[in-house]
Structure 1
Amino acid sequence: MTEKTETAYQKYNLEKESAQKVFDRFDLGAIEKISQFEQGMINDVYSINGKYVLKINSAHPNLPKLSNEAAVYEALADSSVPVPKLYGYDENRKLLGYPYILMEQIQGETLKEIWRNLNDEQRMISALETGKILGTIHNSKPEQVRIASADFEPNLKSSIHSRIGEIGTMLRSSNVLDEHVIKKIETYFQESSCFDVEIQPSLLHGNYVFANIIAEGGTIRGIIDWEWVSFGHDEEELAVTLYRGPTGIVGGMDEKLLASFKDGYLSAHQISDTFNERYLSYALLYFLKILPNTPAWTHRPDKQKEYIDATNNLINQIIL
């Protein structure tokens, strides 16, 4: 993973003395070196002694993101899904002023960083393996992973109606789309028959992209960054992952690689025969939920453009 540059987003400045208090709490010895990762766009994430990762929830301190992430690492520690070892987490803010989580630093680089250096065969294998891991994640049920999560609605249409109402409110308050477009979006999701199904809850990673997958020597070593984990519809996360591409860049993978990813997924977890009817709709829901936040991404104009363009493309395909 890459150390943070001067232009990257930062809200917290970790002092060695403060970090040592965290280490003392978990009996991890003396701190010799601290460096900050250029990881994600929101949280401050630090490498300590090259062996540990300290993530500080300075962006959303009132959300139980890190306790959920900790619960995942505990629940999946002995599973076939590779995750970091958890050393501890704290929501009370006494030591650092914010919630934090301390975990193992998995050796290797993100799949995003090494992707361009892989040959065609290595890419196909990586796509297959990451697809299989996502399918395995989706096999996990609420009784296996105890996280703080919104109540699950088994009736998909009811869930969609509730969510599109909330999304409409956010879109209007942010002024990112014209009113007539918002109304057409609401009408589509309220009236489409493709959501007339009953669903079962599956564990969802929340941001399953190559930037959150650590690899070494062509082997997947760990799936990280579970702070947005939840229980929901397996099809939704699969749809978003396929549409964005596991690279995290829309159009970043060709059809053969996406097919390999889906093959890997289906080898571990089955989905409905009507998945394709909801594929683009789920992708649009994802981007509509994120779109109101994009005006604040002045530190990442590339991401602003990517999300705005992807949203408009989906609206043109489905709605207009």
Structure 2
Amino acid sequence: MKMKVSRKAIENIIKQHIPEQELAEVKPYDKGHINEMLEIRLKKSRKPLILRIYNEPWKAKKESFVYRCIKSQLDIPVPEILASDDSGEIIPKAYMLMSKIDGMAIDKNYRKYRKKPIFRKAGEILARLHSVKFHHFGWLMDNEIKPAFRKWRDFAWHDLLTKMYNISSLKEIRKMIPRIEEKIGEYSFLLDIKETPCLLHKDYHCPHILTKKSRIAGIIDVEWAIAGHNENDFIKMELWAFSRMKNLRKPFFDGYRKYGHISREYEQRIKMYELWHWISMVNISKETKNREWLEHNIRALRKFLK
């Protein structure tokens, strides 16, 4: 995979933040649709680093803030942040330099060892993440909630309307709007909740839960974190893990309930959160101009609406 940032630019980053070191090797990761991620090896160190180059400058401060928030409040393994910069002075884009957590994605771990308790531990860790509380609901931008809402329902409507406006230029979506409105009307009462806003990972699924044999080695990729309703954080595991590994759903939620609460309405509410999820996925794939990914998400939304 070809790098979008030059080797010289990476050398400048290392010189700025770790002047005693020299760049030895750079390996781009062939994953992700949005930000560039590189594995960095230095001449005087055996420990590789991760360099993330962001498509939007606010993400560098935001992800750095979330990792440090987790590290300061919880005993959960996350990367150590070595540097974060959005000034554009070192390289034109915002970036973050951090330690690399070695580990195997949790689904690959299960296929290798066939041990269900690792999913119970993943549920426990998510519940502990949700123990970080906020005063308002909303997007985490840099190190603040912006815009901030006192009610989850109000934030949900703001987010949905913003994304629906963005994707309404797509003719495939315009045809679905009456059905989308019907479904939102059917499920919207489930957005009236009493829970306190908490830290949501918002991308909590197998590739971002790293493991070593029987333990969780690290939680990564908190770029999309928000202050929200805890049950909204289950949707990606539901869709991308438990849809193909149904036997692991119970241990995951058993683990979650050790530290967290799941309401009686969750099995209904999940439909609202799935609709919201696919609208969000269409929006982000449109913004990144990835036509193949966009078409996949439009098909998934259409299938959900049937």
Q: Output the TM-score relative to the length of structure 2.
A: 0.85
| Amino acid in structure 1 at the alignment position of 2:193 | V
More deviation in 70-79 or 127-136? 70-79
Secondary structure of the structure 1 residue equivalent to 2:144: coil
Question: Would you say 1:280 and 2:271 are equivalent positions?
Answer: yes
Cα separation, 1, equivalents of 2:89 and 2:78: 27
- Contact in 2 for aligned 1:54/1:100 (Cα 8 Å): yes
Query: Post-superposition shift, 1:202?
Result: 0.8
Q: How does 1:1-320 map to 2 (within 5 A)?
A: 5=1, 12-15=4-7, 17-27=8-18, 29-49=21-41, 50-57=47-54, 59-61=55-57, 64-78=58-72, 79-119=74-114, 122=115, 124-142=116-134, 147-179=143-175, 181-190=176-185, 192-238=188-234, 240-245=235-240, 247=241, 251-254=243-246, 256-294=247-285, 296-298=289-291, 301=292, 303-304=293-294, 306-316=296-306
| Amino acid in structure 1 at the alignment position of 2:184 | F
Unaligned runs of 5+ in 2: 42-46
Shift in alpha-carbon separation, 1:264–1:126, aligned structure 2, 3 A: same
CA-to-partner distance for each residue in 1:149-204, whole Å, 9 max, x for gaps? 3234343333333333223322311223243x312322442464333333421101
Secondary structure of the structure 2 residue equivalent to 1:39: coil
Cα separation, 1, equivalents of 2:165 and 2:294: 20
Unaligned runs of 5+ in 1: none
Indicate the percent of aligned positions where both proteins have the same amino acid. 21
Cα separation, 1, equivalents of 2:305 and 2:193: 23
Secondary structure of the structure 2 residue equivalent to 1:32: strand
Aligned residues: 291
| Amino acid in structure 2 at the alignment position of 1:216 | K
Cα separation, 2, equivalents of 1:198 and 1:75: 24
- Contact in 1 for aligned 2:205/2:237 (Cα 8 Å): no
CA-to-partner distance for each residue in 1:11-40, whole Å, 9 max, x for gaps? x1331x322221222225111111111232
- Contact in 2 for aligned 1:55/1:102 (Cα 8 Å): yes
